[in-house]
């Protein structure tokens, strides 16, 4: 498999992907802020601070990964432990950006891939932290990805994009109504329905059905493992992270990135 660089210079190759990783890690830090603050209707430009002592963090504290390592995982003022999820999430985002660019190279679909993964990451943080996915995240994502999918990289046929959105919305809405009618409790949240609608825009109606099945299986596996450990069943389980994981898996296969990954390991 040839790289997009078109050069045998290993130094240039490593520098390029290191730059992409850093670029992704910086976005990962921002995605974490967005996912945590928007559900609480907090200002995104408010300076970050320590959760324990409220001391404002200095600019060098906010450098992705490096800032955490320099602080040794603790607030410089009160010594409060900083959750390791922050640098891990930054590493994850940087790695995903690097992987996508490597597998997709520079083309129209790469932009859609990066935006789609960014949406999934933000929604995962939001749903885990606050049990909701705000409209301010899904509405702009729907418009942007719909325009990009129709203009830059259409599904074949083109109306699969619109059909995918319709199926995604109707399917989860129906499941939510059935859950309420049969079990007497709220099923799918509005955020889950809207996220699934955006997923339908990107991958189309048929892969969307596979995504729903996969997300359901993943959630059941999680519930089973959690019950085996804690011996209790959680009544409220955020479904957004499972949608995100399943959607990324479906897109990985649909976009051809999975085939490229398998080629690398041959």
pLDDT digits (tens, 9 = 90+) for 162-212: 999 999 999 998 887 887 666 656 667 889 999 999 999 999 999 999 999
118 or 45: which leads in pLDDT = 118
- Same domain for 185 and 93? no
Is 113 part of a structural domain of the chain?
no
Question: Do the domain assignments include residue 55?
Answer: yes
Give the pLDDT score at 6.
46
Looking up tokens 């790469």 gives 110
Confirm whether 112 is domain-assigned.
Answer: no
Whose tokens are 């301010």? That residue is: 136
Q: What DSSP character marks residue 158?
A: T
Report in angstroms the alpha-carbon separations of 125 from 28, 148, 172, 185, 211: 11, 24, 21, 24, 19
pTM across the whole model: 0.89
Q: Look up the domain containing 83 and give its range.
A: 1-106
Percentage of the residues of the chain whose pLDDT score is greater than 70: 90
Q: Do both 96 and 135 map to the same domain?
A: no
> What pLDDT is stored for residue 258 in this prediction?
76
Lookup result for tokens 């928007």: 38
- Does 225 fall in a domain? yes
Model confidence pLDDT, tens digit, residues 217-259: 999 999 899 888 887 776 678 899 999 999 999 999 888 787 7
In the numeric block, which tokens belong to residue 226? 């959690």
Top-confidence residue, 45 or 182: 45
**Residue that has been written with the tokens 């990066």 in this structure:** 114
Asked which of 59, 90, 106 is the last residue of a domain, the reply is 106
In this structure, are 86 and 153 located in the same domain? Answer: no
Given a cut of 60, whether residue 127 has pLDDT beyond it is: yes
Q: Convert the pLDDT of each residue in 60-102 to its tens digit.
A: 878 889 988 988 888 887 888 888 999 999 999 999 999 999 9
Confidence of residue 133 (pLDDT cuts 50, 70, 90): very high
Sign of the alpha-carbon dihedral angle for 211, 85, 27, 50: positive
Question: Do 104 and 96 touch, CB atoms closer than 8 A?
Answer: no
CA Rg, the chain, in Å?
Answer: 20
For the CA atoms of 15, 19, 20, 21, what is the dihedral angle to 10 degrees? 100
Domain-embedded: residue 251: yes
Same domain, 49 and 171: no
Rounded to an integer, what distance in angstroms lies between the CA atom of residue 11 and that of residue 1? 19
Q: For residues 134 and 30, state if they share a domain.
A: no
Residues 60 and 97 in one domain: yes
The residue among 86, 106, 95, 105 whose CA lies nearest residue 30 is: 86
Q: Are 200 and 164 in contact (CB under 8 A)?
A: yes
Give the number of domains in the chain.
2
Q: At what angle do helices 190-203 and 108-130 cross, to 10 degrees?
A: 170
Instruction: Report pLDDT for 25.
Output: 96
pLDDT at position 180, please?
64
């Amino acid at each position: 498999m040839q790289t997009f660089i078109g050069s045998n210079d290993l130094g240039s190759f490593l520098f390029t992907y290191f730059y992409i990783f850093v670029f992704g890690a910086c976005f990962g830090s921002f995605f974490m802020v967005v996912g945590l603050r928007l559900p609480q209707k907090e200002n995104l430009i408010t300076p970050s601070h320590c959760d324990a002592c409220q001391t404002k963090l200095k600019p060098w504290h906010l450098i992705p990964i490096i800032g955490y390592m320099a602080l040794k995982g603790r607030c410089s003022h009160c010594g409060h432990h900083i959750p390791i999820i922050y640098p891990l999430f930054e590493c994850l985002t940087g790695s995903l950006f690097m992987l996508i660019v490597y597998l997709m190279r520079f083309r129209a679909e790469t932009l859609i891939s990066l935006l789609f993964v960014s949406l999934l990451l933000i929604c995962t943080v939001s749903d885990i932290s606050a049990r909701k996915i705000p409209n301010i995240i899904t509405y702009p994502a729907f418009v942007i990805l719909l325009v990009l999918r129709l203009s830059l990289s259409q599904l074949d046929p083109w109306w699969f994009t619109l059909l995918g959105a319709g199926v995604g919305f109707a399917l989860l809405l129906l499941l939510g109504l059935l859950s309420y009618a049969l079990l007497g409790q709220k099923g799918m949240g509005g955020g889950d329905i809207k996220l699934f609608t955006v997923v339908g825009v990107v991958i189309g109606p048929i892969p969307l059905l596979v995504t729903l099945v996969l997300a359901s299986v993943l959630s059941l596996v999680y519930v089973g493992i959690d019950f085996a450990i804690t011996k209790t069943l959680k009544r409220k389980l955020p479904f957004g992270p499972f949608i995100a994981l399943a959607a990324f898996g479906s897109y990985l296969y649909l976009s051809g990135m999975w085939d490229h990954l398998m080629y690398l390991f041959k």
